[in-house]
Amino acid sequence: MTYWYLTTDTVPFYVSIWSLKGTENYRFYGAVFGIVGAVHGARVLDLIVMSIRGRQLRLRSETSMIRTLMSNPMISRTLSLVAKKEAKDSQSVRHPKPRLATLVARSLGRMWKRVFSRQSFFGVESEHFSTVYALQEILVISSQTYQSYRASNLLPRPELNVIMVALLVTNCWTTASIQIFLRKSPELGRVFTFTYNAMVGFGMMTIVPLLIFIPCIEGFDLQYKYLKNQNFIFEPLTLVTLVLENRLIFAAGLFDFATKLIPHLSIMLSLVTVSELLGRGDVKVVPVLGVQFSHSNIKTVPNDLYLRWHPLVGIYFDYGELTDIPFQMFLSPAHVLSFVGNQIETIPTLAMLPAGAIIPELALSTNPLKEFPATLMEPTALIMSMNVQHTSLTSMPEWVKTNTKVVWAYGTPFCAAPMTDPKFADRVMCFERPAGQDLAFPIALLDALYPY
Q: Are 319 and 303 found together in one domain? A: yes
Distance between CA atoms of residues 407 and 427, nearest Å: 6
pLDDT for 1? 67
Stronger pLDDT, 276 or 158, i.e. the higher one: 158
Where among 282, 310, 340 does a domain terminate? 282
The predicted model gives 413-418 an average pLDDT of 92
Q: Are 134 and 37 found together in one domain? A: yes
- State which H helix or E strand residue 334 sits in: strand 334-338
Does residue 63 sit within a domain?
no
Q: Are 249 and 397 found together in one domain? A: no
Q: Are 343 and 244 found together in one domain? A: no
Distance between CA atoms of residues 201 and 133, nearest Å: 15
The pLDDT of residue 22 is above 60: yes
Q: Are 233 and 321 found together in one domain? A: no
Where among 282, 306, 321 does a domain terminate? 282
Residue 103 CA, distance from chain mean position: 23
- Sequence-separated (6 or more) residues with CB below 8 Å from residue 219: 227, 228, 229, 232
Return mean pLDDT, the chain: 80
Quick one: DSSP state of residue 346? B
Q: Are 138 and 214 found together in one domain? A: yes
pLDDT for 145? 92
The pLDDT of residue 305 is above 70: yes
Does residue 378 sit within a domain?
yes
Stronger pLDDT, 214 or 399, i.e. the higher one: 399
Where among 230, 255, 282 does a domain terminate? 282
Task: Indicate the SS3 state at residue 384.
Answer: strand
Q: Are 123 and 261 found together in one domain? A: yes
- Contact by Cβ (8 Å): 138, 294: no
Q: Are 194 and 302 found together in one domain? A: no
pLDDT for 272? 75
CA distances from 5 to 9, 10, 450 (A): 9, 10, 73
Does residue 267 sit within a domain?
yes
| Domain ranges, residue 396 | 290-449
The pLDDT of residue 367 is above 90: yes
The pLDDT of residue 107 is above 90: no
Count structural domains, the chain.
2
Q: Are 255 and 141 found together in one domain? A: yes
CATH number at residue 406: 3.80.10.10
Q: Are 224 and 294 found together in one domain? A: no
Which tens digit of pLDDT belongs to each residue from 321-363?
Answer: 999 999 999 999 899 999 999 999 999 999 999 888 999 999 9
